[in-house]
Amino acid sequence: MASVSNERDNTGSSNQMWGGRFADGPSAIMREINASIPFDKALWRQDIAGSKAHVAMLAQQGIVTAEDAATISDGLDAVAAEYEADGVPEDWDLEDIHMTTESRLAQIVGPAAGRLHTARSRNDQVATDFRLWVREAIDQADAGLLALQQALVTRAGEHAGSIMPGFTHLQTAQPVTLGHHLMAYYEMIRRDRSRFADARARLNESPLGSAALAGTGFPIDREMTSKALGFDRPTANSLDAVSDRDFALDYLMAAAQCSLHLSRLAEEMIIWASQPYGFVRMPDALSTGSSIMPQKKNPDAAELVRGHSGRIVGCATALMVTMKGLPLAYSKDMQDDKPPVFEAASLLALSIAAMTGMVADATFNTDRMRQAAELGYATATDLADWLVREADIPFREAHHITGAAVKLAEAQGVALDQLSLAELQQIDSRIDDRVFAALSVDASVASRASYGGTAPERVRQQVAAARMALGMEE
């Protein structure tokens, strides 16, 4: 026989299913899950700007009186001043930044505040605010990346001729210059900036005036509000305008790709700073010590940049999954669009700043880099190429001869160019003394003079071109 339910457990605060935190039952849960003010208060500047543009348009179109519009605009300035001084208050009953601002405006200017929301909805309001915020985040990222490029170019110019081993599979491959290596990251960041620029161009359309989803019957001027807020044009479809979050995903995709590049540079700095490599000494300001090992200097900032990359990629994934199955137009799921964007923007800004400081202030041990290039037999390919070019030996045979030479040099603990001619001729008699012009690391990098190559002259040309592109003074 089924047990009889306890009626008290199904009503009010007696229902233990809600737990102690939610003493008021479902209404308390709804209040908390519905409120977005804890995070969307970050949009307050954009919300004020959008509201001022909107009320000015309403007055221009004769939808509200000039007197009411002036009162509302002055009141919005007063609200903004309060937010600037004291922060945005969090009243969860008001749900979001839009209602919070409108409520405070009503307290300041009275009933006229109620006219502000004419011909708009929170749907187009938040879409507008969010676009404005993302646009600013893109501009901030671009400014940070410009500074990072300038640091990379400056250090690349200093080290256009500094020889280091180039790696594949983290094994010494061929000698390159440090300047060439740093300029590789300049190119990556150049592409990152182009992705952010593309995202900005696509997002720069104004949703304001789309209202809830279908537009409005009031004779509004969307071109006016679009221009006032710095958009290129109004959005063409009201349904799309209120439900589109492509602009946020575009930003997150660009941020994720950028973070991968920053993570790769951070990883190299971490490896180079380790004692077995000893290629770089990290800035003290971006390093930490150990609680028990006094000799340690840990590259924590670089490691955190590497870690932040995973979180930024996670933010992009989170919003994609949120948006993947939503029908038109607005759904409450879209309230969760902002936290991943805000988190990614904060992490990306920190990562860019950290890597800029790291590149600018790191001390490179160029003697150690050169030594590693020499003892890593990085000129082995040059020997093989010389055998093909000068002794007319098929490459596969030349590859075998070169391997024998590397084995001999390794056994003796010397660089390839320190083997004697007699020792080389014991390996293959077709080798003559001209080979030594090709075996030094200096000769190797100098010979790589094809466009985009590591030859110091090419690196200096690329640095000069980059400085011009970035507007850097000579």
Instruction: Identify whether 36 is a catalytic site residue.
Output: no
Residues 31, 51, 71: CA angle, nearest 5 degrees: 110
State the Cα–Cα distance between residues 345 and 130, nearest whole angstrom: 13
Name the catalytic one among 169, 291, 429, 450.
Answer: 169
Name the catalytic one among 13, 14, 27, 290.
Answer: 290
Of 23, 10, 35, nearest to 336 by C-alpha is 35
Instruction: Identify whether 290 is a catalytic site residue.
Output: yes
Residue found by looking up tokens 């994720």 in the block:
256
Mind telling me the catalytic residues?
169, 290
